[in-house]
Amino acid sequence: MTEKQALITGASGEIGQALVQELSRRGGYKIVTADFMPLPKTIEPLSAEHVRGDLLYQIKKFYDYDFDVIFHLAASLSSKAEVAMEEAQRINVEGTLQLLLLAAHRSEKYKKSIKFLFPSSIAAYGLPSLETKQAAGLAQEDEWSDPRTMYGCNKLYCEKLGLYYSQCYGQKHLDETPPHFLDFRAVRFPGLISAFTAPSGGTSDYGPEMLHAAAQGQAYACFVRPDTKISFMAMPDAIRSLLMLLDAPPAKLTRRVYNVTAFAITAEEFRQRALRAFPQAQITFAPDRRRQGIVDSWPTDVDDTLARKDWGWQPAYDVERFFDDYFLPEMKKRYLP
C-alpha cells in the first residue's frame, strides 16, 4: 500500500503531540510536522520532516508537498488571544486561510481530494449572560453563534472559510462538485485534558492545571468560581474523534462542523476529585474577572447527537473512566512514591 502524506501543524502542542503519536501508531502516513517550536524529543522520530517557524513565512514550502490530509492544529488559545489579538488574527485566521488556499489550489490543479481537519472549539459559542447559559441546556451546532472572544470569533470564521473553500470557491454550481475537492471537516472540542502534557494560553486550562498541580503536590489557585461548569474530554478521545471524522465516508456527513463532548463538570467537582486522589492537595479559588467572563459565555455542555448518528462518535472516557482509568493511574505512576 502506498503511504499517504499528512501535514500536522501545531505539532508541538498538546493535541499535536498526541495526534502524531496516534497517527504514526496507526501507520500508512508519511507525517510532516510544522510548529514554531522544535518537536519534543518523544515524537521527533515519528516525523519524516519538521518545518520549524512561523507558518505564514513557511507556507511556500508546503506547495512542494503532495498532502492527502492536513490537520491544521496551530492556534493561539482563548486567554492568550484576548491579550495578543493581532497575533491571534495572524495565527488563527491568516494561517488557516493560507493553508485552505494551498489545499484548494492543489486539489483543483491535481484533481485530487484533500482532507482538511480543523479543531474548532466550544469557544465558537457565545452566550450573552450567565443566566442564559444556566437556562440554555445543551448547545446545538447552529445555536448561540455570537462568540465573545477573539479566539471564538477566529474559530467560527475559520469554520466558515473551510466551508467556503470546500463548497463555494470558484462559484461552481452545486451539481458541479467534482470528485476532486477540498474536503473540510471540523470538530468543536470542549476543554481537553492530557495526562502527559500541560496546556497553556487557554481558559479551560483551570481543569488540567488543577489536576496536574494536585498530583505534583503544588498549591493551586483556580481562576474561576467553584460553580463554573463546561464540558471536558480526555485527550485520547479528542484524537479518536478527529480520526473517526477523518475516516467517515463523505456520504455519511450531513454537515461539516460537529460538536463532540464527553463530560460536563464544575470546578468544585474537579477539586473534590483531586482531593479524593491526593488528600494533601491545596486548592483554593481566586476568580479572575476576565477569564471567568470567557467561561461564563461558553455553554455548560453541547449536543453531539449528529456526530453520534453520522459517524458513530461516542467517548470512551466518561468522568469516572477519565479519572480511574486514564488520568490518575498515570499521575500516580509518575508522582507517587
Which of 24, 96, 204, 241 touches ligand AKB by CB under 6 A? 204
197 near ligand AKB, rule: CB under 6 A? no
Which of 47, 121, 197, 261 touches ligand AKB by CB under 6 A? 121
77 near ligand AKB, rule: CB under 6 A? yes
Which of 10, 202, 236, 315 touches ligand AKB by CB under 6 A? 202
If the CB atoms of residues 122 and 277 are measured against ligand AKB, the closer one turns out to be 122
Count of residues interacting with ligand AKB (CB under 6 A): 11
Mode of pairing for the β-strands spanning 283-285 and 220-222: parallel
If the CB atoms of residues 23 and 199 are measured against ligand AKB, the closer one turns out to be 199
Instruction: Give the three cell numbers for residue 114.
Output: 484533500
Q: How far is the CB of 205 from ligand AKB (least distance, A)?
A: 6
Q: How far is the CB of 108 from ligand AKB (least distance, A)?
A: 31
Taking the C-alpha atoms of residue 172 and residue 3, their distance in angstroms, rounded to an integer, is: 31
Compute the C-alpha angle 13/17/19, nearest 5°: 115
If the CB atoms of residues 122 and 187 are measured against ligand AKB, the closer one turns out to be 122
Using alpha carbons, select from 214, 320, 198 the residue that is nearest to residue 263. Answer: 320
Using alpha carbons, select from 265, 259, 241 the residue that is nearest to residue 319. Answer: 265
Taking the C-alpha atoms of residue 236 and residue 229, their distance in angstroms, rounded to an integer, is: 22
Which of 78, 154, 194, 297 touches ligand AKB by CB under 6 A? 78
The residue ranges of DSSP E strands in 190-300, in sequence order, are 191-193, 220-222, 229-234, 257-259, 263-266, 283-285
**Which range, of 198-206, 211-219, 231-239, 284-292, touches ligand AKB by CB under 6 A?**
198-206
Which of 51, 59, 114, 122 touches ligand AKB by CB under 6 A? 122
If the CB atoms of residues 107 and 149 are measured against ligand AKB, the closer one turns out to be 149
Instruction: Give the three cell numbers for residue 312.
Output: 458513530
Is the CA virtual torsion 229, 22, 259, 307 positive or negative?
A: negative
- The residue sitting closest to ligand AKB, measured at its beta carbon, is 202
Instruction: Give the three cell numbers for residue 105.
Output: 489550489
Q: Is 307 exposed, middle or buried (0-12, 13-18, 19+ CB in 10 A)?
A: buried
Which of 123, 187, 195, 283 touches ligand AKB by CB under 6 A? 123
10 near ligand AKB, rule: CB under 6 A? no
Site for ligand AKB in 154-193 (CB under 6 A): 189, 191
Q: Is 156 exposed, middle or buried (0-12, 13-18, 19+ CB in 10 A)?
A: buried
If the CB atoms of residues 102 and 192 are measured against ligand AKB, the closer one turns out to be 192
Q: How far is the CB of 203 from ligand AKB (least distance, A)?
A: 4
203 near ligand AKB, rule: CB under 6 A? yes
80 Cβ neighbours under 8 A, 6+ residues apart: 88, 200, 201, 202
115 close to 185: Cβ distance less than 8 angstroms: yes
3-state secondary structure of 149: coil
Q: How far is the CB of 302 from ligand AKB (least distance, A)?
A: 11
133 close to 299: Cβ distance less than 8 angstroms: yes
Q: How far is the CB of 271 from ligand AKB (least distance, A)?
A: 19
74 near ligand AKB, rule: CB under 6 A? no
Binding site for ligand AKB (CB under 6 A): 77-78, 121-123, 151, 189, 191, 202-204
